[in-house]
A and B are shown apart, each in its own frame.
Chain A
Amino acid sequence: MFQALIEPLQYGFMQRSLVVAVLVGLVCAIVGSYLLVQRMALLGDAISHSVMPGLAIAFILNLNIFVGAFVAGILSTLLIAWIRVRSPLKEDAAMGIVFSSFFALGITLITRIQKQNKIDLNHFLFGNILSVTPRDVIDTAIIVAIVLVVVVLLYKELLFYTFDPLGAQAAGLPVNLLNFGLMVLIALATVASMKVVGVILVLALLIIPGATAYLLVRRLYQVMALGSAIAIMASISGMYLSYFYDLPSGPAIVLVTAAGFTLALLFSPRYGIWVKSQNTALPALLQEIKQLLR
Chain B
Amino acid sequence: MNYPREFAQSLPNLAATESSACAYLPPLRVAGLTVDYGEVTALQDIHLTLQPGRLSGIFGPNGAGKSTLVKAMLGLVSATGSVVWGDRPLTGQLDRVAYVPQRNQVDWLYPATVWDVVMMGRVRKTGLFRRFSATSRRVARAALDRVGIDHLRDRPIGELSGGQQQRVFLARALAQEADLFCFDEPFVGVDQKTQAVIFEVFQELTQAGKLVLVVNHDLGESITHFDDLILLNTELVASGPRPWVLTQENLYRAYGGQVSFFRGAA
Give the interface residue-count category, chain B. 35 or more
Which A210-244 residues have C-beta < 8 A from chain B?
Answer: 214, 217-220, 222-223
Which B120-170 residues have C-beta < 8 A from chain A?
Answer: 120-121, 123-124, 126, 128-129, 132, 156, 158
Once A159-B116, A171-B99, A219-B111 are accepted as A-B contacts, the answer to whether A166 and B124 lie under 8 Å apart by CB is no
A268 to B249, CA, bound (A): 59
**B4 at the A interface (CB under 8 A):** no
A240 to B59, CA, bound (A): 64
Report which of B38, B76, B106, B132 forms a contact with A170, defined as CB distance below 8 A.
B76
A171 to B74, CA, bound (A): 9
Chain A positions within 8 Å of B105 at CB level:
164, 166
Nearest residue (CB) in B for A88 is B38
Chain A positions within 8 Å of B176 at CB level:
171
Chain B positions within 8 Å of A171 at CB level:
94-95, 97-99, 121, 123-124, 176
The reply to whether A222 and B111 contact each other, CB–CB distance below 8 Å, is yes
Once A166-B99, A170-B74, A171-B97 are accepted as A-B contacts, the answer to whether A159 and B120 lie under 8 Å apart by CB is yes
Which B68-111 residues have C-beta < 8 A from chain A?
Answer: 71, 74-76, 94-95, 97-101, 105-107, 110-111
**B201 at the A interface (CB under 8 A):** no
> How far, in Å, is B168 (CB) from chain A's closest CB?
11
The reply to whether A163 and B71 contact each other, CB–CB distance below 8 Å, is no
A218 to B116, CA, bound (A): 11
A149 to B172, CA, bound (A): 27
**A173 at the B interface (CB under 8 A):** yes
**B207 at the A interface (CB under 8 A):** no
The reply to whether B111 and A217 contact each other, CB–CB distance below 8 Å, is yes
| Chain B interface main SS type | mixed
> How far, in Å, is B177 (CB) from chain A's closest CB?
12
**A160 at the B interface (CB under 8 A):** yes
> How far, in Å, is B126 (CB) from chain A's closest CB?
7
**B198 at the A interface (CB under 8 A):** no
Which B174-224 residues have C-beta < 8 A from chain A?
Answer: 176, 182
> How far, in Å, is B95 (CB) from chain A's closest CB?
5
Chain B positions within 8 Å of A168 at CB level:
120, 123
> How far, in Å, is B25 (CB) from chain A's closest CB?
18
**B17 at the A interface (CB under 8 A):** no
The reply to whether A220 and B111 contact each other, CB–CB distance below 8 Å, is yes
Report which of B98, B99, B111, B120 forms a contact with A218, defined as CB distance below 8 A.
B111
Chain A positions within 8 Å of B64 at CB level:
none
The reply to whether B107 and A163 contact each other, CB–CB distance below 8 Å, is yes
Residues on B lying within 8 angstroms of A by beta carbon are 38, 71, 74-76, 94-95, 97-101, 105-107, 110-113, 116-117, 119-121, 123-124, 126, 128-129, 132, 156, 158, 172, 176, 182
A and B contact pairs by CB, cutoff 8 A, 12 listed: A37-B111, A154-B129, A156-B119, A162-B110, A166-B76, A167-B106, A172-B94, A218-B156, A219-B116, A220-B110, A220-B116, A223-B111
